[in-house]
Chains A and B, each alone.
Chain A
Amino acid sequence: MQSNIDEIADRINNTEQERIKLADFVKPHIKKLTVPFEKFSGTVAATDGGLLAKSFHGSDVVVTKAVSVVMDYLDGKLNSTNYFPELHTPPQTYFSQKGLDYSEVDCSKSILRIKHEIRNARNTISKFAPDYMLLDGSIVPQQADKPKPESVLLDDYKSLVELYSELYNTANNYGTQLVGIVEDSRANRFVNSHLPALPKDLESIARQTQDTHLLYYLLEKGEKTSGFTYAENPSKHPILQDFSSELGAWPMVFYLRTAEYDRPLRIEYLNPAKSGETEQNVAKMAYFLASFNKEYGIPAPIIEADLRAALDSKELDFICNKISDKLTHKGAMLELRRNKRPFK
Chain B
Amino acid sequence: MELGTVISTLNGPSTTSFSFVVNGNEIHKGQFVEASIDEGKLIGMIVDLFKTNRYFERADSVKSYESTGKNINDFFPTSEWEYLVAEVRPMGVYKSNLLSKSTYPVSPGNKINLASDETLKMFLGFDLERGLNIGKLDYHDVPVSLNLSKLFQKHLAILAMSGAGKSHLASVLFEEILSRTKEQGRIASIIFDVHGEYVSLAQPPKDSNKLDISRNVNVIPASDIKIGVSNLSASILSSFTNGISSPQQRELARVISSLQTKAREGEGPYGMSTLIDAVSKDELIKENVKSVLLSHLYSLDSLKLFSAVDNPSIADFAQPGKTTVINLSNIIDVRKKQLIVAYIANKAFNEKRANRIPPTLLVLEEAHQFIPESAKQERAVAKKIFETIAREGRKFGVSLCLISQRPIQLSTTVLSQCNTHVILRVTNPYDLDHIGKSSEGLDRRALDMITSLRVGEALIVGEAVNFPVFFKVRERKTEEGMHGRNLEDSARFFEEKTNQLEKDAQNFM
| A76 CB contacts on chain B under 8 angstroms | 74
Q: A292-B70, A307-B54, A307-B81 are in contact. Are A78 and B75 (CB under 8 A)?
A: yes
| B54 CB contacts on chain A under 8 angstroms | 307
Binding site for A on B (CB under 8 A): 54, 61, 64-65, 67-68, 70, 73-77, 80-81
Q: Which applies to chain A's interface (DSSP): helix, strand, loop or mixed?
A: mixed
Structural contact, B77 and A78, CB atoms closer than 8 A: yes
Partner of A300, one of B64, B68, B76, B80: B76
Structural contact, B64 and A293, CB atoms closer than 8 A: yes
Kindly state whether residue A244 has any CB partner on chain B within 8 Å: no
| A289 CB contacts on chain B under 8 angstroms | 75
Partner of A292, one of B68, B77, B80: B68
Most buried by A among B61, B70, B76, B80: B76
Partner of A303, one of B67, B68, B73, B76: B76
CB<8 Å pairs between A and B, sample of 21: A76-B74, A77-B74, A78-B73, A78-B75, A78-B76, A81-B77, A87-B80, A291-B68, A292-B68, A292-B70, A293-B64, A293-B65, A293-B68, A294-B64, A294-B67, A294-B68, A300-B75, A300-B76, A304-B76, A307-B54, A307-B81
| A134 CB contacts on chain B under 8 angstroms | none
**Considering the complex, which residues of chain A in the window 274-299 have a beta carbon less than 8 Å from any beta carbon of chain B?**
289, 291-296
| A77 CB contacts on chain B under 8 angstroms | 74
Kindly state whether residue A240 has any CB partner on chain B within 8 Å: no
Kindly state whether residue A35 has any CB partner on chain B within 8 Å: no
Kindly state whether residue A71 has any CB partner on chain B within 8 Å: yes
| A304 CB contacts on chain B under 8 angstroms | 76-77
Kindly state whether residue A69 has any CB partner on chain B within 8 Å: yes
Q: Which applies to chain B's interface (DSSP): helix, strand, loop or mixed?
A: helix
Residue of B nearest to A290 (CB): B75
Assembled-state Cα–Cα distance A119/B224 (Å): 94
Binding site for B on A (CB under 8 A): 69, 71, 76-78, 81, 87, 289, 291-296, 300, 303-304, 307
Q: Give 14 new A-B contacts, CB below 8 A, not counting A81-B80, A293-B61, A303-B76.
A: A69-B77, A76-B74, A77-B74, A78-B74, A78-B75, A87-B80, A289-B75, A292-B68, A294-B64, A294-B67, A296-B61, A300-B75, A300-B76, A307-B54
Most buried by A among B70, B76, B77: B77
Closest-CB distance, A73 to chain B (whole angstroms): 8
| A294 CB contacts on chain B under 8 angstroms | 64, 67-68
| A81 CB contacts on chain B under 8 angstroms | 77, 80
Structural contact, A71 and B77, CB atoms closer than 8 A: yes
Closest-CB distance, B49 to chain A (whole angstroms): 21
The 9 closest A-B pairs by CB, nearest first: A81-B77, A300-B75, A77-B74, A293-B64, A292-B68, A292-B65, A300-B76, A293-B65, A292-B70
Structural contact, B64 and A296, CB atoms closer than 8 A: yes
Partner of A295, one of B64, B74, B76, B80: B64
Closest-CB distance, A71 to chain B (whole angstroms): 7
Assembled-state Cα–Cα distance A203/B74 (Å): 46
Closest-CB distance, A155 to chain B (whole angstroms): 39
Assembled-state Cα–Cα distance A294/B75 (Å): 15
| B65 CB contacts on chain A under 8 angstroms | 292-293
Assembled-state Cα–Cα distance A71/B77 (Å): 8
Assembled-state Cα–Cα distance A77/B81 (Å): 18
| B77 CB contacts on chain A under 8 angstroms | 69, 71, 78, 81, 304
| A300 CB contacts on chain B under 8 angstroms | 75-76
Assembled-state Cα–Cα distance A303/B67 (Å): 18
Closest-CB distance, A67 to chain B (whole angstroms): 12
| B64 CB contacts on chain A under 8 angstroms | 293-296
Assembled-state Cα–Cα distance A294/B80 (Å): 24
Most buried by A among B64, B73, B75: B75
Assembled-state Cα–Cα distance A81/B78 (Å): 10
Residue of A nearest to B67 (CB): A294
Closest-CB distance, A40 to chain B (whole angstroms): 10
Assembled-state Cα–Cα distance A294/B76 (Å): 16
Most buried by B among A77, A289, A293, A296: A293
| A69 CB contacts on chain B under 8 angstroms | 77
Residue of A nearest to B80 (CB): A81
| B81 CB contacts on chain A under 8 angstroms | 307
Assembled-state Cα–Cα distance A71/B79 (Å): 13
Residue of B nearest to A77 (CB): B74
Closest-CB distance, A58 to chain B (whole angstroms): 31
Residue of A nearest to B77 (CB): A81
| A87 CB contacts on chain B under 8 angstroms | 80
| A291 CB contacts on chain B under 8 angstroms | 68
Residue of B nearest to A293 (CB): B64
| A292 CB contacts on chain B under 8 angstroms | 65, 68, 70, 75
Residue of A nearest to B8 (CB): A314
Residue of B nearest to A71 (CB): B77
Assembled-state Cα–Cα distance A291/B74 (Å): 13
Assembled-state Cα–Cα distance A27/B68 (Å): 29
